Structure 1
Amino acid sequence: MRFGHLLVCSLFIFFVLYAPQPLLSLFAEQFSVSPATAGSLMTATMLPLAIAPLVYGLLLAKRNPLTILRYAMLVLAVTCVAFAYAPSFELLLLLRFLQGLTLPAALTAMTTYIGSTYQADSLQKNMTFYIGSTIAGGYFGRVLAAIFADLWTWQSFYFVIAAGLISFALSIPRNQTAIVNSTLSPLNYLKQLANAAVLKLYGAVFCMFFCFAALLNYLPFILQDTFLITNTRDIGLVYSGYLIGALASIATPWLLKKSISPWHLLSAIFAFYSTTLVFLMSSQLVIFLLAFTGFCGAMFIIHSTAAPLVNKISSAPPSVTNGAYVSFYYSGGALGSFVPGLVYQQLGHIAFMASLLLVCICGLILVSSAYLAGKKTTLG
């Protein structure tokens, strides 16, 4: 499979995951539900994303990931069409849950294919490009969903996603083999993850995405309540700060060369990540937008550094290592997409950001302690 083809598949898969996010306030109004309830459309998808990837990782250790990717994309296409025709909020939730069961199969298949096909510098480079495609998918999924909703209907974008998923799924090579490992039992695979540095890195990734999912999920409500921005197209354009993350993630290999170790870079960027949350408490729109841009860039540098790093220091097969990574990542997203919303509803914008800051500081502590546990691995 050509790597460019994989990146385009990733783009459409992330359209599925993030397209509802800028539309949450629209869904809240259309179906007469609260902001936290509307936010549960993201939670319903991220909950299975938090659990299923590890299971899929164990299965993928004995299966061809490209076959799994093809079927997962076709299932996602069907759910997108059904989502566009759903008559009730409850059915939207059910379909988002089904998408959450399917998405981790696709995500784990893609990272497994990269982890088992490329090594050393090629692994870092291609994982960085893959993460860049997830950023682009998240950005354009949000922005295009908002633009389609403003110019036509929100349902029309889902038909575009479904058509793209079907086209690129059917063009995945059927006769290409991939490296699989079938010599160990699932329990032995899991035992290989019992490494202090690996587990602390997973925990830091959990904290990172908890904060990111929370802010991105409730951004439409913050823009509406604090800055009086209500148009879906304008809300979608605010997500442009997210695109800076793509540029930042591409610079990650250069930043790693300038750093003493990946752990030092992760600690520095986590500190910056925390600082942006302080500035996001501002009620000045310009300061908020600049801090939001820095926040997104920091998140994706952490992601682009942590994903290949865990593949390097873990002794488990790539499918299990990446399945666990995706599980921790979206566990943070599942909680972050709902719990902070309760804080926002009850206490407002500043308390919401303060709660995220506390979680982010926990991530910084985990990275710093993981460095002490893993420096022999990363510094030779």
Structure 2
Amino acid sequence: MLPTTCLPCFLVNVMRVSMPRVAVATAGFAAMLNMYAPQAVLPLLANEFGVGPASISQIMTVNALAVALTAPFTGIVADVLGRRSVIAVAMVLLIIPDVMMAFSDSLEALLFWRFAQGLLLPPIFAVSVAYIGSEWPAGEATGVTGYFIAATAFGGFLGRMLTAVLAEPFGWRHALFAQATITALCAITIIALLPRERNFVAATTLAASLRQMVKHLRDTRLLATFCVGFGIMFNFIAAFTFIAFVLAAPPFNLSAAAIGAVFVTYLISLVTTPFAGRLVKHFGRRNFGLIAIGIWICGILLTLVPSIAVIVLGLALFAGSGFLVQTCCQSFVATYVREGTSSAIGLYVTSFYIGGSFGGLAAGLLWNVWGWPGTVGLIVAMLVFMGAMIRYAWRAA
């Protein structure tokens, strides 16, 4: 038994170790909660505004595009001003578009506020990853990143599930207002728990940070990893946007709440990603990434089977393997880069969300011609490309 005089010291040490992890996990949770909240109710919103699947999918596309546009510049600013300050300010400002979305009276207004919301996500998501890379030793960073990715997965799930469950009895506006309330609580948590950086070395000027970004763009291993990031979000937006329309149509005819429940498959990552660090050490980053790609392909192919149970299994494999690859990518960038980490993560997030924008657009075009089988074929082709990039980028990682 510990002496009673040691108990306060023990509790202080536990809090000192746990609080930063809770704070960065909350940041990841909040970012993905906001990113994905409308996805499960897209069929309801299509009926509300009188448009088709390809048009209403712009709600996801404009958000991803806004993230892609601001992510690299967020990294430059964070490298100068400090990461904690950027994360905290962005979390507070995010409450504004969240609330305004709930009061939107047209699709155009909703798209505007979704774009504004997207502008504020990189200072939360990307800068948090850079914070992890600089504040934890390389041996721990992959594990902490795993917890961060698990939190993003839970945020993505809860965002979809919450809006789906609340939209039917109370309407989509009340569902989005509930999302804004959760965002406010997350902002308070981050401000209270996230400590100031201990290992942060600020770039002397914005120009110096920009030069570091140019240096990153000349690194072929980073560029290949950025391509993998592009494919990750491409696949997630393509799959989870249009599978909702598959499940809402015959022979399934699922309600919004039931479709939201299908997104419980996201929770598989809560089990898998915390072990990513150990698995990478055991198999090596490249081998483990290729194994995950193989499982990912199997998962998306299973969604072609006209059975709810098999589709759910396929989506679980799809989500679980996708988040494992995401963990490998983010931890590689955060630990591989020694200077200008925020700008490197910013470039990664830019490629990640450009992929999301193209995923929604390309899948929408194929959906109009070949339906869900065309979308699946597109995703498989992207996964093959990602496997080739992993073989090159992580050859010694």
In structure 1, the partner of 2:342 is: 319
Q: Which string of whole-angstrom CA distances, capped at 9 and with x for unpartnered residues, describes residues 9-39 of structure 1?
A: 4323322111100010100000001101110
| 8 A Cα contact 2:62 2:115, kept in partner | yes
The equivalent residue for 1:181 is 202
Question: Does 2:281 match 1:257?
Answer: yes
Determine whether 1:353 maps to 2:371. no
Q: Give the letter aligned to residue 84 of structure 1.
A: A
Displacement of 1:251: 2.2
**Aligned counterpart, 2:6:** none
- Cα drift, residue 316 of structure 1: 3.6
**Structure 2: segments with no counterpart, 5+ residues:** 1-18
360-369 or 9-18, larger mean C-alpha shift: 9-18
- 1:121-200 maps to which residues of 2 (within 5 A)? 121-170=139-188, 172-173=191-192, 177-178=196-197, 179-183=200-204, 185-193=208-216, 194-200=218-224
Equivalent residue runs for 1:368-379 within 5 Å: 368-372=391-395, 375=396, 378=397
CA distance in 2, matches of 1:310, 1:2: 20
Which of 28, 34, 53 in structure 2 is aligned with 1:16? 34
Partner of 1:271: 294
Task: Compute the displacement of 1:322 (Å).
Answer: 1.1
Indicate the residue corresponding to 1:83 in structure 2: 101
The equivalent residue for 1:236 is 260
What amino acid is the match of 1:2?
Answer: P
- TM-score (normalizing by structure 1): 0.93
User: Does structure 2 retain, via aligned residues, the 8 Å contact 1:229–1:235?
Assistant: no
The corresponding residue for 1:107 is: 125
Offset, 1:345: 1.8
Distance 1:267 1:174 in 2: 37
Alpha-carbon contact 2:232-2:355 (below 8 Å) kept? yes
TM-aligned CA distance change 1:222 to 1:175, over 3 Å: closer
Which residue number corresponds to residue 213 of structure 1? 237
> How many angstroms does 1:175 deviate by?
10
In 2, the alpha carbon distance for the partners of 1:5 and 1:364 equals 33
Query: Residue 27 of structure 2 contacts residue 124 of structure 2 at CA under 8 Å; is this kept in 1?
Result: no
Alpha carbons of structure 1 residues 312 and 109: separation in structure 2 relative to 1, 3 Å:
closer
* 1:33 aligned onto 2:38: no
* Residues 194-233 of structure 1 deviation map (CA, whole Å, 9 limit, x = unaligned): 2221111111121122111110111210112354233111
| 1:182–1:314 CA distance, 2 compared to 1 (3 A) | closer
Higher mean displacement: 352-361 or 88-97: 352-361
Count of residues in Structure 1 that have an aligned counterpart in Structure 2: 373
Which AA in structure 1 matches 2:314?
A
Q: Could you list the per-position Cα deviations for residues 317-367 of structure 1 after superposition, in whole angstroms to 9, with x for gaps in the alignment?
A: 221121111111111111112221121122112122111111111111111
In structure 1, runs of 5+ residues without a counterpart are none
Distance 1:348 1:125, change over 3 A: same
Secondary structure in structure 1 of the residue aligned to 2:57: helix
Which of 286, 289, 299 is equivalent to 2:312? Answer: 289
* More deviation, 334-343/25-34: 334-343
User: Which amino acid is 2:104 matched to?
Assistant: A
Measure, in 2, the Cα distance between the counterparts of 1:8 and 1:242.
Answer: 17
Per the alignment, residue 5 of structure 2 pairs with none
| Equivalent AA in structure 1 for residue 241 of structure 2 | N
| Aligned with 1:93 (options 111, 121, 124) | 111
Change (3 A) 1:65 1:315: closer
Mapped partners of 1:290, 1:174: distance in 2: 37
Distance 1:81 1:351, change over 3 A: same
Structure 1 residues 180 and 167: CA distance shift in structure 2, 3 A: farther
Cα 1:276/1:177, change in 2 over 3 Å: closer
Q: How far did residue 116 of structure 1 move?
A: 1.9
Distance 1:174 1:235, change over 3 A: closer
State the Cα RMSD in Å: 1.9
Partner Cα separation in structure 2 for residue 285 and residue 109 of structure 1: 38
Q: Distance in 2 between matches of 1:175 and 1:305?
A: 24
The structure 2 residue matched to 1:339, chosen from 362, 369, 379, is 362
Moved more, 279-288 or 200-209: 279-288
- Asked if structure 2 preserves the Cα contact closer than 8 Å seen for 1:246 and 1:300, the reply is no
Q: Is the 8 A contact 1:58 1:319 kept in 2?
A: yes
- For 1:275 and 1:167, the matched residues in 2 are separated by 38
Once the 2 structures are TM-superposed, how far is the Cα of residue 176 of structure 1 from its aligned partner?
A: 5.3
